[in-house]
Structure 1
């Protein structure tokens, strides 16, 4: 068929260079929410594992299930750190119903019950670590390893996990706020 302008051009083969997708501003709030929720669930499991290790040390030493030569007595920072399970539980309770208030309380309590005891513990154990570094003497052991070395390693991992948990919680909170703002606009 011909048109008034003449014959139509024949189709040519292209390699896809003429296709231009729509530009997007980034992931939707739903995609962001699902991504952050997945990461938070993984981090919560790691937090639970760290909490169980600290709780096991405290329980084993207080019930005297093993000798103090095998597992050293806990440091003072470990007792308030046992409350770090509270922010994890509040965060888990916030997920199913997108409860913003639980998530905010979880983030605030994570700073108080998780990060603050870790920072206090780093200061509490610093003289012992300094003595170990300078003189090579350790007086507390956990399964044959220096207790201060094991605790600093645990604290390093825990601090990273809590920091990532706070980061993803903040991103999730932003996604939830964006989705509620989108609903209000409609």
Structure 2
């Protein structure tokens, strides 16, 4: 170790950095995107609990459980896409297991399934509520759009949809980066 005032041995002056070992780029990309994908999955869980709160009235009705406070909210009946989207939370476990052991088949399954069950239903909801949003933007609250607690229902859904689309697109982007990094690592082993 070199001291400030004493003699400096050869190679200890900091100019030997070119010979030091560096982390391969695919490992750096893998670590970075694993962390980012975990954040996306965390936000997916938050959105799931928001959706579950919205679906709670319908779920309790199907179970013949009456809770006055929830019934008084008069939450509109859910559409099928809302239940299909809730299934996408199960798919996030494919990504979590892939992250743990760098499993290429699991991350591929996650990419395909989150596109179908995560992004697909949300895009359907965007198309379904677009008319209500457009009417609200053009003419404000009218009798043509559904209101819930005084708020336009389509606009409330669009707030959810915008966040959900971002979470799913970022998840797809980070999982694609992971897949590329893991495949690059596998190719170097074959050479």
User: How many angstroms does 1:70 deviate by?
Assistant: 4.9
Q: Residue 172 of structure 2 aligns with which residue?
A: 166
Q: Secondary structure at the match of 1:95?
A: helix
Partner Cα separation in structure 1 for residue 73 and residue 152 of structure 2: 11
Q: After superposition, where does 1:58-97 map in structure 2 within 5 Å?
A: 58-63=55-60, 65=67, 66-67=70-71, 69-97=73-101
Q: TM-score, normalised by structure 1?
A: 0.78
Partner Cα separation in structure 1 for residue 106 and residue 49 of structure 2: 23
State whether residues 39 and 168 of structure 1, in contact with CA within 8 Å, keep that contact through their aligned partners in structure 2. Answer: yes
Q: Residue 14 of structure 1 aligns with which residue?
A: none
State whether residues 43 and 161 of structure 1, in contact with CA within 8 Å, keep that contact through their aligned partners in structure 2. Answer: yes
User: How many angstroms does 1:77 deviate by?
Assistant: 2.2
User: How many angstroms does 1:41 deviate by?
Assistant: 0.5
1:139 matches 2:146 = yes
Which 5+ residue runs of structure 1 have no aligned equivalent?
1-18
State whether residues 26 and 184 of structure 2, in contact with CA within 8 Å, keep that contact through their aligned partners in structure 1. Answer: yes
Which 5+ residue runs of structure 2 have no aligned equivalent?
1-14, 62-66
Report which of the two structures shows the higher radius of gyration computed on alpha carbons.
1
Q: After superposition, where does 1:97-176 map in structure 2 within 5 Å?
A: 97-133=101-137, 134-137=139-142, 138-141=145-148, 144-176=150-182
More helix by share: 2
State whether residues 92 and 110 of structure 2, in contact with CA within 8 Å, keep that contact through their aligned partners in structure 1. Answer: yes
Inter-CA distance 150–109: structure 2 relative to 1 (3 Å threshold): same
Deviations 1:52-93, CA, capped at 9 Å, x for gaps: 111221123332541364533323421211111132111111
Computed over aligned residues only, the root mean square deviation of the Cα atoms, in angstroms, reads 2.7
Q: Residue 36 of structure 1 aligns with which residue?
A: 33
